[in-house]
A = this chain, B = another copy of it.
Amino acid sequence: MTKGGDEKQGEDTASKAATLFPPMNDVIGYKLRRAQLAVFQDFLASFAKLKVRPAEFSVLVLIAQQPGLKQTEIADQLGIKRANFVALMDSIEKRGLAERRKSDSDKRSHSLHLTPRGAAFCRKMFAVWRDHEDRMIARLGGDEERARLITMLDRLAEPGG
């Protein structure tokens, strides 16, 4: 079967398109996503027993560090959509790790606090997280590299910051 003119022309155009882009391995967004997935994969494997996902981890850490913050404040700090945050907080509350309390200053809003059980859970989380984080730092080649990476990630995330 010989190639028709149209098909041949299509292939020429396609081969021109091929030379435009660099290898995907040089594309910033692509590499960021692959690295993020790899780190989350290690995180999820590490936390399989405690059943903690990255978003739950960050919410619990923030409640531990800043008890009394409102739901909207935590959602905003972490860049989680408010609708998603409510479901996340429902699950954390159902597990007895943190609770919503009526805010003293604004009766319509809730402030968030760890329960004693949540505080004990955070200590377990810390040991698991520390191992995971140390593994990631080792992959990078040490603390200096880690600091350099964080600086660059900040530049990407907060272009005006």
A residues sitting closer than 8 Å to B (CB atoms) are: 6, 9-11, 13-18, 20-21, 23-40, 43, 54, 58, 61-62, 64-65, 67, 77-79, 113-116, 118-120, 122-123, 126, 129, 133, 136-137, 139-141, 145-146, 148-150, 152-159
* Chain B residues closer than 8 Å to A155, beta-carbon distance: 139-141, 145
- Cβ contact within 8 Å between B58 and A30: yes
**Assuming A17-B123, A24-B58, A35-B154, what are 4 further A-B pairs, CB within 8 angstroms?**
A18-B67, A20-B122, A31-B154, A38-B159
Most buried by B among A9, A114, A118: A114
Q: Which 7 A-B residue pairs are closest in the complex by CB-CB distance? A: A17-B122, A10-B116, A13-B119, A35-B153, A35-B156, A17-B119, A14-B119
Closest B residue to A122 by beta carbon equals B17
- How many copies of this protein are present in the complex? 2
Are A32 and B24 in touch, CB under 8 angstroms? Answer: no
Cα(A154)–Cα(B15), bound, Å: 28
If over half of A's interface residues share one DSSP class (helix, strand or loop), that class is named, otherwise mixed; here it is helix
Given contacts A123-B17, A157-B35, contact A28 B133 (CB under 8 A): yes
Bound-state CA distance A14–B67 (Å) is 8
Question: Chain B residues with Cβ under 8 A from A141's Cβ?
Answer: 155
Contact between B38 and A156, CB atoms less than 8 A apart? yes
> A29 and B18: CB pair below 8 A?
no
Are A31 and B119 in touch, CB under 8 angstroms?
no
Chain B residue at minimum C-beta to C-beta distance from A138: B159
